[in-house]
Structure 1
Amino acid sequence: MEKYYIPFVIALVATYILTPFVKRFAEKIGAIDVPKDNRRIHKKPIPLMGGLAIYISTVVSMLLFLPMDKTSIAIIAGGTIIVISGIIDDMKSLSPKLKLLAQIVAAIILIWGDIKIEFITNPFASTGMTYLKIFSIPVTIFWVVGITNTLNLIDGLDGLASGVASIAAVSLLFVSSINGFPTVMMMSAILAGAALGFLPHNFNPAKIFMGDTGSLFLGYMLSVIAIEGVMKSVAAIAIAVPVLALGLPIFDTTFAIFRRFLNGRPIMEADKGHLHHRLLDRGFTQKQTVLVLYVISMFLGTIAVLLADIETDKGIIILGVVSVFILLGASRLGLFDIDSLKKINQRKNANN
């Protein structure tokens, strides 16, 4: 594992050094997040586009430490498209349709680079896996687009997305090690370092936000690492491993979709019902909320690593127990109920 420390540290230091320059650039071009609705937690304008530093340090580190083959070129090219769409969105707001188009194009480029989900492991099938065949392309696009957006949706508190991305990348590094994918381990180490290097500038009180430039890029890279380092494994319950490693953004997004659907709200409509909002409503400070979510991410990441190297029967039992706890926790926090926030606010007003 020692050889992965150097790219990790280089990416970390590069992001840390680059971020102040990106901050000044964002201020110069007017990429500023002005709090103009009650969903935003910050009270004063904060520069956006900090993810540009993460992107630069990640790409430079990949050029230094990874072979520039067709796969690496596809990853960088797709990531560049994602970052360009993020920059435009941070500057003047890009329509959801155009952002989705950019993400689909990035996913298609990955498929060109031989990065795709070709089979899904199935412990109940006689062969242990189900080959997707013609469905490989749409499933890959769905995964890349989905994971790219899940991290973007949890980017609601200082330091949350960068910290969660770092934890997920480290988890996937260990899973890739178990599965024997050294190139993916290197990519995971680079991404973990790049995201962690941004955290000192972004932790509460944040001096700069990563914006869509960063959250979309981190989500995109994590989706790639999951495909290359986990989904190409023939482990019996491999499909559960990346879902748990990326558990916090995946589950929070899934609950948001169900919550809005069950309450008759548009699925794409933003709300204050995400997990971090619920914890804030229960009296946690921003820092406390972020730290709690870090712990949850670490727990899920640890379970993912255990599942990658465990007997199938035991893995299924562990997965079942974890799933029950996740559902109970979500129900307890009201993640399915979009109207519970109104009740909380009503109680607060009554007490005041």
Structure 2
Amino acid sequence: MTLSATIITIFVSFLLSVILAPIVIPYLRKMKFGQSIREEGPESHQKKAGTPTMGGLIFITSIIVSTIGLSFYFDKLTTQSIVLLIILVGFGAIGFLDDFIKVVLKRNLGLTSIQKLIGQIIISIIAYFLLKLGPFDTSLAIPFTNIDFSLGQFYVAFLIFWLVGFSNAVNLSDGLDGLVSGTAAVAFVTFAVLALTFEQTDIAIFAFSVAGALLGFLLFNKNPAKVFMGDTGSLALGGSLAMVSILVKQELMLVIVGIIFVVETLSVILQVISFKTTGKRIFKMSPIHHHFELSGWNERKIVTVFWAVGFVAAMFVVLMEVL
């Protein structure tokens, strides 16, 4: 995949998002698909109530169109491409149902945790068996070493854990304007570069398409956001990012590339454990981006710092693996 092909891929998906957003956002507003804000959240977030959500539909559509179109153009539509689209659409559909129940049916909790988990597991298993139709490596590589070990038949359990875990990690991180859009774009570009290094053009096309679509969406999602991605977008992104890491066979590298998502999730886990065992909270509020808000940081500063951390982690991986 040449540099020009890479630029074309990013530009096409970016342009699609930029074109779709002004069409979709007014429709979401007209249908009263406005975000409801948790009362227990930071008080400063109450002004965001009513901002259109389910904006993930914008970049999901862009990704589908650009991935299929460019894969055909470059003659690179493969089983792996299809699996990535299944994860994107499947996890996005679960998020859409969750958003729809919250926003339209006015049930604040949306889908139950069990309902979401069952849906995610089913889609993950479907993806696994599609991959097993061809040669599929069930080993895990230790980052920055030549060491790997095979999980054999237990790999399916790891795959489910990885997809469910990171889809929910990205979902937890989606609490500030532009935070996930920017951080995820950097992560997908990183794995696209790794895919190119391993001559996996089909995966690179998908990952660059996601990055371009997110950058286009970010124009409308940055502070002050005109639209939120909702669970529709965050679950789709998290599941897709995990699957890209699996297909590139750099699964554990995602812990570094997606360090922001990992830290956000750990902050929630530690907060719950601490409160249930000692009755005390480690953070003023979790996920950790809310802790910084309540510590006096403004939203733009938090997002900028988190983007920077994600970028440094991504550059470290690229320098170690590619250069």
TM-score normalised by the chain length of structure 1: 0.78
Show the counterpart of 1:30.
Answer: 32
Aligned to 1:181: 200
1:251 aligns with 2:263: yes
Higher-RCO chain (CA-CA 8 Å, sequence separation at least 6)? 2
Structure 2 residue 154 is the aligned partner of structure 1 residue 135: yes
1: CA distance, partners of 2:175 / 2:38 = 14
- Aligned partners of 1:124, 1:12: CA distance in 2, in Å? 32
Counterpart pick for 1:105 among 122, 132, 149: 122
TM-superposed deviation, 1:122: 4.4
How far apart in 1 are the matches of 2:314 and 2:308? 10
Structure-1 residue corresponding to 2:96 = 87
Deviation of 1:150 after TM superposition, in Å, equals 0.7
Cα shift readout 1:103-137 (whole Å, capped 9, x = no counterpart): 11221121122177611124899x83211011011
- Displacement of 1:180 in angstroms is 3.0
Give how far 1:138 is off: 0.5
RMSD between aligned alpha carbons? Answer: 2.4
User: Which consecutive aligned stretches of 4+ in structure 1 deviate over 3 angstroms post-superposition?
Assistant: 122-125
Partner of 1:120: helix, strand, or coil? strand
What are the equivalent positions in structure 2 for 1:1-80 lying under 5 Å apart? 1-39=3-41, 41-43=45-47, 44-66=49-71, 67-80=76-89
Secondary structure, counterpart of 1:35 in structure 2: coil
CA contact (8 A) 1:32 1:91 kept: no
Task: List aligned pairs for 1:144-159, cutoff 5 A.
Answer: 144-159=163-178
Change (3 A) 1:296 1:121: same
Deviation readout 1:150-198 (Å, 9 max, x if unpaired): 1110000011111111111112122223333222222111110011111
Question: Is the 8 Å Cα contact of residues 230 and 241 (structure 1) preserved in structure 2?
Answer: no
- Scaled by the length of structure 2, what TM-score is found? 0.85
Judging changes above 3 Å, is the alpha-carbon distance between structure 1 residues 205 and 130 closer, same or farther for their aligned structure 2 residues? same
Unaligned runs of 5+ in 2: 102-109
Q: In structure 2, how many angstroms separate the alpha carbons of the residues matched to 1:64 and 1:220?
A: 22
Which string of whole-angstrom CA distances, capped at 9 and with x for unpartnered residues, describes residues 31-84 of structure 1?
Answer: 211224131524131111000011100001111122443332232233222222
Are 1:303 and 2:316 an aligned pair? yes
User: Which residue of 1 is the match for residue 105 of structure 2?
Assistant: none
> Counterpart of 1:2 in 2: which secondary structure?
helix
Equivalent-residue separation in structure 2 for 1:4 and 1:76 (angstroms): 19
Mark the CA change 1:77 to 1:147 in structure 2 (over 3 Å): closer, same or farther. Answer: same
Cα pair 2:80 2:247 within 8 Å, conserved: no
- Cα separation, 2, equivalents of 1:241 and 1:128: 13
- In the alignment, the residues of structure 1 paired with residue 137 and residue 228 of structure 2 have an alpha-carbon distance, to the nearest angstrom, of 32
What stretches of structure 1 of length at least 5 have no aligned partner?
232-238, 311-352
Alignment length (residue pairs):
299
Quote the offset at 1:259 in angstroms.
2.9
Using the alignment, how far apart are the partners of 1:72 and 1:173 within structure 2? 13
Is 1:212 the counterpart of 2:231 in the alignment?
Answer: yes
Q: 1:272 to 1:16 in 2, by over 3 A?
A: farther
